[in-house]
Amino acid sequence: MKLFGIPNCDTVKKARAWLTVNGFEYEWHDFKKQGLSAEQVQQWTDAIGWEVLINKQGTTWRKLDAATKASVIDANSAIAVMIANPSIIKRPVLVTDTQMQVGFKPELYQALLK
> Catalytic positions, please?
9
Contacts of residue 29, Cβ cutoff 8 Å, sequence gap at least 6 = 2, 3, 4, 5
What is the SS3 assignment for 29?
A: strand
First-to-last C-alpha distance (Å) of the chain: 13
**Contact in structure between 32 and 112 (CB atoms under 8 Å):** no
